[in-house]
């Protein structure tokens, strides 16, 4: 999956270009974003047949689902994860009860979590509500307590940030799915499956 620059480019002392492997994976619930076990009953990335030499760019907690990138290109970590690049990541979050606009605006302005204020983000109630296949195991259900799906777009990724943010406004997270990185969407990639990205799709992760 690599390609070198043409001989003509080499004669002009241009660098040889290696096109790195870049994979999109729909991480299921209960899977660690790493290849080594951590002593928990959670599965690891070794269960999914990835090619040798790739590693996850960023992470999703074991109890979160959705789009995870894997690559053998070290520079992607900084380009995609450093908040100074304002790189967007979009999540669908199922929460208890239905937040009002004031609560969503609190998240958008930033919340103090563990002593530090989160960067501004975008938050909205999804309308219409998405139809998402149930999770295995299912989420907890509280009788007579409604739930709803929100969309959050962040440019930073602190430890369990989305869950801490929704808890801070009084709406605990029941389920969390990362649906986009940049403008690359997880659609048509079913849970537990991965595929290599085409060159035009690679551009979408930076858009």
Q: Which residues are catalytic?
A: 61
Nearest Cα to Cα of residue 203 among 180, 184, 187:
184
Which tokens in the block code for residue 41? 């009953």
Interatomic CA distance for residues 181 and 88, integer angstroms: 6
Instruction: Establish whether the linkage from the previous residue to 128 is cis, with ω within 30° of 0.
Output: yes
Burial of 155 (0-12, 13-18, 19+ CB in 10 A): middle
What Å distances lie between residue 57 and 23, 69, 81, 183, CA to CA? 10, 5, 8, 16
Kindly compute the dihedral angle of the four CA atoms of residues 187, 192, 193, 196, in this order, to the nearest 10 degrees.
90
What is the Cα 190 distance to its own chain's centre?
15
């Amino acid at each position: 999956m690599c390609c070198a620059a043409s001989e003509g480019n080499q004669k002009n002392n241009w660098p040889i270009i290696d096109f790195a492997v870049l994979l999109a994976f729909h991480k299921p619930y209960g899977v660690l974003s790493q290849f080594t076990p951590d002593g928990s009953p959670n599965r690891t990335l070794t269960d999914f047949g990835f090619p040798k030499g790739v590693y996850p760019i960023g992470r999703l907690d074991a109890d979160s689902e959705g789009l995870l990138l894997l690559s053998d290109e070290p520079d992607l970590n900084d380009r995609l994860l450093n908040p100074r690049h304002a790189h967007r990541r979009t999540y669908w979050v199922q929460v208890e009860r239905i937040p009002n606009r004031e609560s969503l605006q609190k998240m958008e302005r930033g919340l103090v979590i563990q002593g530090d204020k989160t960067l501004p983000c975008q938050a909205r109630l999804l309308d219409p509500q998405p139809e998402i296949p149930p999770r295995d195991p299912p989420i907890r259900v509280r009788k007579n307590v409604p739930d709803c799906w929100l969309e959050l777009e962040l440019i930073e990724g602190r430890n369990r940030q989305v869950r801490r943010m929704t808890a801070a406004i009084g709406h605990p997270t029941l389920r969390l799915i990362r649906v986009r990185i940049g403008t690359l969407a997880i659609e048509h990639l079913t849970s537990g499956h991965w595929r290599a990205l085409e060159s035009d799709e690679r551009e979408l992760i930076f858009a």
